[in-house]
Structure 1
Amino acid sequence: MDDRIDPEGKRLPIKLDTASNGEYAPLPLPESLLAARRLAHRAASEAARRLGLSRRAFLKSACGAAATLLAMNRAFAAAGRIGGHFDLPSEAAYDLALAEDRLGGKEFIFDVQGHHVNPVGPWRRITNRWTYALRSFPQADCGEGAIECLSAQHFIREVFLDSDTALAVLSMVPAGPGDEPLTLEDAAATRALVERMEGHHRLLLHALVRPNLPGELDAMAEHRNRYRIAAWKTYTQWGPDGKGYWLDDPDTGLPFIERARALGVKVICVHKGLPLFGLDYTHSTCRDVGAVAKRYPDVAFLIYHSGYDPKRQEGPYDPKDAEAGVDSLIKSLLDHEIPPNANVYAELGSTWKLLMRDPDQAAHVLGKLFKYVGEDNVLWGTDSIWYGSPQDQIQAFRTFRIAEPLRERYGYPELTPQLRAKVFGLNAAKPYGIDVEALRRQLAGDPWTRARQAYRENPEPSFLSYGPRTRREFLELLRLRGGPL
């Protein structure tokens, strides 16, 4: 990859676009983000001239990311969105050492939600709700054809070279047998590819479980034994007849949890919130989380997306309006007396990516999760590769601060470097049973670390998002699928 992919430096390092991960219709950018994009492009041109650099060279530097985040601050403030901001001095747009100091970091970054597809898998020959969507999913060609942009090789590049991620989990999407864009066998092949490059212990695997599908529970033992899985992934919205299930359902959810316990893999990752197009939203709410967490205190429940619904305006926790969104997770925990830092974890995949567009909602969601789920139980996830490299999400989170008035009024904690480090990876080490210090020592000199250091001497980030960016594109994908499920 070289400058030919973006010769004029048109793409911003903090991706201000409407790209969706394919599970929800793209959301139009508010005027504040459109203004931020205009300000960022103008600032990039001015700074590049001042520093004697091409636009592309400037945007590849930490100064480019700083200039974009500063532009977002200005646009948000002009729109009255001051619940949070990206804490950067204005000089960071011109001072490379200052920008690198504020945007760089040495945290242990463990991304608990990563995705890619098998570009030549049999799923491409089967008509299902993901097949046609993913065939034309990337809206920008990465140079090898659209679907190849979502391959294992590009996942490895975007996550492990073009971001500061040290460890990742490869997860699954909702699909029936034979329809999976990434099977467990495919995921194991990706892990083997990483390990052949001597990147041992850098990639963990989920196994998809559909407990409302006959035979699934019987297959769990084989998946554990054959693939060394680290956790189970489930979608309570999905069902073979289009109907989802509840975790506390005695005929589906409870037998699934019991089997996980019996097999000794007691980490269950559950998609909640982020409505899946064409599936009933009811089972996306978190009303069942507290019940099973109380019943099974030895099981770690990782709530993917934290119940976040992008159609809801998130503010302070409101028990009178807590049937959906992040508040549905909080309500479920409170109703069942699950204290902070217990066995329920809130994951930020897609959630933080969308919250970056609105500092008020970002401040409230993060603040609520820290307060009610616990400062030790909020987990870093990015939903990459759908949004391209997660580096922009990392840089934004490193600098985000919750405004002091909100912290004082609602009891939200300050986002200190220590708290950020917990979210970035230390918190996830607990349910996954990882000795962080031992792993740090092992990764310090492995070939991946050396390759990243060499690559950073002359990086070529794509700054690409791969999802549909407009409702028209999304509906066209839906038409090609033949409609919802």
Structure 2
Amino acid sequence: MTRKDSDPDGLRLPIKLDSTSNGEFVPVPLDATGRYANRLAREHTAAAARRTGQSRRRFLVSSCGAASTLLAFNAAQAAAGRTGSYFDLPADAAFDTQLAGASLEGDEFIFDVQGHYVDPTGAWLKQVPEGVRPFAMMPKAADCPSDPERAYLQCLGPDEFVKDVFLDSDTDLMVLSFVPSRADAEPVTIESADAVRRIVDEMEGTQRLLLHGRVNPNQDGDVAQMDELAERWGVSAWKTYTQWGPDGTGFWMDDEDTGIPFVEKARELGVKVICIHKGLPFGPRSYEHSQCQDIGRIARRYPDVTFIIYHSGYVVDQPERAFEHGAGRDGIDTLIQSLVDNDIGKGSNVYAELGSTWRFLMRDPDSAAHAMGKLLKYVGEDNVLWGTDSIWYGSPQDQIQAFRTFQISSELQERHGYPAITPDIRAKVFGLNAVKPYKISAEELKLHTGRDAMALRRTAYLEAPDPHFRTYGPKTRREFLNLLRHGDV
């Protein structure tokens, strides 16, 4: 492999453990163990590169680079007494390409139900003050022209999205989602999202991008525009944020004046999949609406509608523990408690999604074990969906590799009735579970994506891959606040 320019000195790790946020919540700095894990991984990968006679960059791009990084994370977490879960890899995978590939490479159908794209030239720029350079700190922007003032934005468009998602990762299919916003300030509109979809689709290939339609029923006009979203743009599902509101006040899905008209309209239009952001609260205002108390109620009232709970109710500063009925804990337990209270069992019309949640769980083996274990136990192994919140976190490949090797400790399996993470469960979570609500034949799609133009392009790209191993979202509180104001990270 010819060394490329993205990281010629091999300074970035292939598994990205850092403070990056998806822009919906304040970044959370790594704790001492997380910082030590990164230091140890750099030491281990440098030593492994020397042992195998490769440059750091070449080694890090290989499967052995990812294996060495994950093994170092295991060691750092175990030293801190965090042994609830681990990345299940043989020690020699750090040096043996075949061993590393057997653990980290796969042919699963990967359907990422939460992707994001920011339109770098959209109408939202009219809201940005003169002189402000939105997204100027994104890695690709530094390599782009600076004249005229915002010419660099052209380098943050669809090509970068396609590279991160479909060339640098094993993702087969993605749903483009939306962030909460006023209609005149959307960083990506349905029109620009559809343009990206068409760019991918026109490569003589299968449809690889599906679209959400953003609806906040507490904002004037949103329910009324659902007809156009369904008929003109062919959205596959609806996306809503119950904590958000134009006046700062959220809503419940079973509120008679907001949530219920929204659900009824979805039923009328025949697009009966509603994706609801729960957890990852924006702040203290209307906090209760970020929790899941309404999910069991609305799911019981509308058994013919599918409700996908984005982030699964996860809260980044709430350690996940085994579920205890009536304990009143925040986080994922608010979802499970709501389902239990309303007699909603496994395999129901409620799905739990992992965008941002899984990436944060990668930092904490104990929370990861409890979060994944209880979602599989209570929501069901057929009802947990893969999502990554990329491209905020750069290419999702590191999240994929981490989940391919994730295992819950036998101790917690026995104590709490959590399942072992088997290849069958991984395949379901990665994509097979999502084909039911999105009405896609996984077998048919895999047949096409294996030989379409995008697949051929990826095969050619992998002859000399150049992953940048960077993230895009804000990493500090200041960057987060700047992004909220005008996209200046």
Give the TM bin, normalised by the shorter chain: over 0.9
Aligned counterpart, 2:169:
163
Q: SS of the residue aligned with 1:16?
A: coil
Aligned counterpart, 2:210:
204
CA deviations over 1:17-50 (Å, ceiling 9, x no partner): 1111111111111111111111111111111111
Aligned ranges 1:349-388 → 2 under 5 Å: 349-388=355-394
Aligned equivalents of 2:100, 2:372: Cα separation in 1? 24
Q: Do the aligned partners of residues 140 and 83 (structure 1) sit closer, same or farther apart at CA in structure 2, a change above 3 Å counting?
A: farther
Aligned counterpart, 1:420:
426
Moved more, 157-166 or 273-282: 273-282
Aligned counterpart, 1:396:
402
Aligned counterpart, 2:107:
106
Q: SS of the residue aligned with 2:210?
A: strand
Aligned equivalents of 2:340, 2:155: Cα separation in 1? 43
Q: SS of the residue aligned with 1:216?
A: coil
**Residue 473 (structure 1) shift:** 3.3
Aligned counterpart, 1:342:
348
Unmatched 5+ stretches in structure 2: 146-151
Aligned counterpart, 1:45:
46
CA deviations over 1:451-484 (Å, ceiling 9, x no partner): 11111111100101112222343345567789xx
Matched, 1:144 2:150: no
**Residue 143 (structure 1) shift:** 2.4
Aligned counterpart, 1:474:
480
Checking the alignment, whether the CA contact within 8 Å between 2:23 and 2:483 is kept in structure 1 is no
Q: Do the aligned partners of residues 173 and 291 (structure 1) sit closer, same or farther apart at CA in structure 2, a change above 3 Å counting?
A: same
Unmatched 5+ stretches in structure 1: none
Matched, 1:79 2:85: no
Aligned counterpart, 1:88:
89
Moved more, 164-173 or 467-476: 467-476
**How many percent identity over aligned positions?**
56
Aligned equivalents of 2:360, 2:56: Cα separation in 1? 26
Checking the alignment, whether the CA contact within 8 Å between 1:116 and 1:150 is kept in structure 2 is no
CA deviations over 1:358-404 (Å, ceiling 9, x no partner): 01000000001001111100000000000000000000000010001
Matched, 1:462 2:463: no
CA deviations over 1:243-301 (Å, ceiling 9, x no partner): 11110000000010000001000000000000124753221100000001001001010
**Residue 212 (structure 1) shift:** 1.1
Aligned ranges 1:294-313 → 2 under 5 Å: 294-313=300-319
Aligned ranges 1:448-459 → 2 under 5 Å: 448-459=454-465
When the two chains are superposed, the root-mean-square deviation of aligned CA atoms in Å is: 2.0
Checking the alignment, whether the CA contact within 8 Å between 2:6 and 2:466 is kept in structure 1 is no
Q: Do the aligned partners of residues 65 and 304 (structure 1) sit closer, same or farther apart at CA in structure 2, a change above 3 Å counting?
A: same
Q: SS of the residue aligned with 1:63?
A: helix
AA paired with 1:387?
Answer: Y
Checking the alignment, whether the CA contact within 8 Å between 1:132 and 1:477 is kept in structure 2 is no
Q: SS of the residue aligned with 1:298?
A: coil
Aligned ranges 1:279-294 → 2 under 5 Å: 279-294=285-300
Aligned counterpart, 2:36:
35
Aligned equivalents of 1:217, 1:445: Cα separation in 2? 40
AA paired with 1:271?
Answer: H
Q: Do the aligned partners of residues 327 and 61 (structure 1) sit closer, same or farther apart at CA in structure 2, a change above 3 Å counting?
A: same
Checking the alignment, whether the CA contact within 8 Å between 1:140 and 1:464 is kept in structure 2 is no
Matched, 1:258 2:259: no
AA paired with 2:97?
Answer: L
Q: SS of the residue aligned with 2:225?
A: helix
Q: SS of the residue aligned with 1:268?
A: strand
**Residue 319 (structure 1) shift:** 2.8
Aligned equivalents of 2:104, 2:157: Cα separation in 1? 28
Moved more, 169-178 or 236-245: 236-245
CA deviations over 1:211-266 (Å, ceiling 9, x no partner): 11222222111111111110001111111211111100000000100000010000
Checking the alignment, whether the CA contact within 8 Å between 1:406 and 1:412 is kept in structure 2 is yes
Moved more, 193-202 or 242-251: 193-202
Q: Do the aligned partners of residues 228 and 473 (structure 1) sit closer, same or farther apart at CA in structure 2, a change above 3 Å counting?
A: closer
Q: SS of the residue aligned with 2:219?
A: coil
**Residue 147 (structure 1) shift:** 4.8
Aligned equivalents of 1:150, 1:335: Cα separation in 2? 46
Q: Do the aligned partners of residues 479 and 440 (structure 1) sit closer, same or farther apart at CA in structure 2, a change above 3 Å counting?
A: closer
Checking the alignment, whether the CA contact within 8 Å between 2:394 and 2:470 is kept in structure 1 is yes
Using structure 2 for the length normalisation, give the TM-score. Answer: 0.94
Aligned equivalents of 2:142, 2:80: Cα separation in 1? 35
For this pair of structures, how many residues does the alignment match?
A: 480
Q: Do the aligned partners of residues 77 and 133 (structure 1) sit closer, same or farther apart at CA in structure 2, a change above 3 Å counting?
A: farther
AA paired with 1:290?
Answer: G
**Residue 93 (structure 1) shift:** 0.6
AA paired with 1:116?
Answer: Y
Moved more, 145-154 or 165-174: 145-154
**Residue 12 (structure 1) shift:** 0.3
**Residue 205 (structure 1) shift:** 0.5
Q: Do the aligned partners of residues 76 and 294 (structure 1) sit closer, same or farther apart at CA in structure 2, a change above 3 Å counting?
A: same
Q: Do the aligned partners of residues 334 and 115 (structure 1) sit closer, same or farther apart at CA in structure 2, a change above 3 Å counting?
A: same
Matched, 1:116 2:84: no
AA paired with 2:303?
Answer: P
Q: Do the aligned partners of residues 347 and 312 (structure 1) sit closer, same or farther apart at CA in structure 2, a change above 3 Å counting?
A: same
**Residue 67 (structure 1) shift:** 0.4
